[in-house]
Amino acid sequence: MSPALSPAKADRLYWLGRYVQRALASAPGTPDLLDPSSPVSLTFNLGRAYENGFLLRDLLDNDVFSYLRMASTKATSLGGGEFLMVKEIHDTLYAFWGILEEALFPEAEALCRWGRFLELWERRTEKGEGPKADAAWDELVRCWGVLNVGVPGRTVAEVEQHFGKCYGE
């Protein structure tokens, strides 16, 4: 682990990736879309992503953090044009993922992507989307290769435990 990357920062990067991906999974018309207390809502997950990003400002450059801020600001203004606003928020979060590769050093990016692809793999496995789930797993394996942490068992619990073993405080 990089000397500049404490276990707390590793944890925040991992959760930043998870929360951004969860926000991307939100869809217009979802009953809890705007409920900030619901862990499946767009606003809840964007709020948590923003909090983690805020605490990682020393690692995230202004451009990366600005995408989180834009998405969060848009989420607070959702109203009658819900579909278009959610689409704009999703587009902003995809831009966040696109710029992240250039903005972070490889280990930090891999930790953030670990969270992202764990969310994708879990969701795609639950939906029975075999090839897409396999592609997300392959991305997880790439992350672990960058981090040089080995490959855990193939359940969400084992992947989460693996993170704790590698980056726990």
**Side-chain half-sphere CA neighbours of 28 within 13 A:** 13
pLDDT at 79: 59
Within a domain: 129:
yes
Alpha-carbon span 103 to 80, nearest angstrom: 35
The number of folded domains in the chain is 1
Give me the numbers of helices (H) and strands (E) for the chain, helices first please. 7, 0
Within a domain: 89:
yes
Sequence-distant (6+) residues with CB within 8 A of 2 are 105, 107, 108
Within a domain: 16:
yes
Within a domain: 35:
yes
Within a domain: 1:
no
What is the residue-averaged pLDDT of the chain?
A: 89
Question: Angle between the 42-55 and 7-25 helix axes, to the nearest 10 degrees?
Answer: 150
Region 146-157: mean pLDDT is: 93
pLDDT at 3: 45
Q: What is the pTM of this model?
A: 0.91
Nearest 5°: CA angle at 160, between 159 and 165? Answer: 95
pLDDT at 162: 93
**Is the per-residue pLDDT at 42 higher than 60?**
yes
Q: Which domain holds residue 140?
A: 7-167
Q: DSSP letter for 168, please.
A: -
Within a domain: 2:
no
